[in-house]
Amino acid sequence: MQCFVHGELGMVRELKPFLAQERQVPRELLSVSGYWRRGKDEDGFQVEKRNDPRD
């Protein structure tokens, strides 16, 4: 099974470990990316995302 999950950053951060651990989807078959963050404008979000080692 492959999973493509792209959406609000907080939501996808919660889904990634669930899919990998609980549903046992191999990490190489996961495409998980935050496209925006609630309460941030585009520029602020992009700066935050570039500087966050979790992404």
d(CA 24, CA 22): 6
Work out the mean pLDDT of the chain and round it to a whole number. 90
- Look up residue 54 and give its DSSP letter: T
The stretch 28-32 carries a mean pLDDT of 95
The stretch 21-31 carries a mean pLDDT of 95
pLDDT at 55 over 90: no
Domain range summary for the chain, segments of one domain joined by +: 3-51
Residues 49, 55 contacting (CB under 8 angstroms) = yes
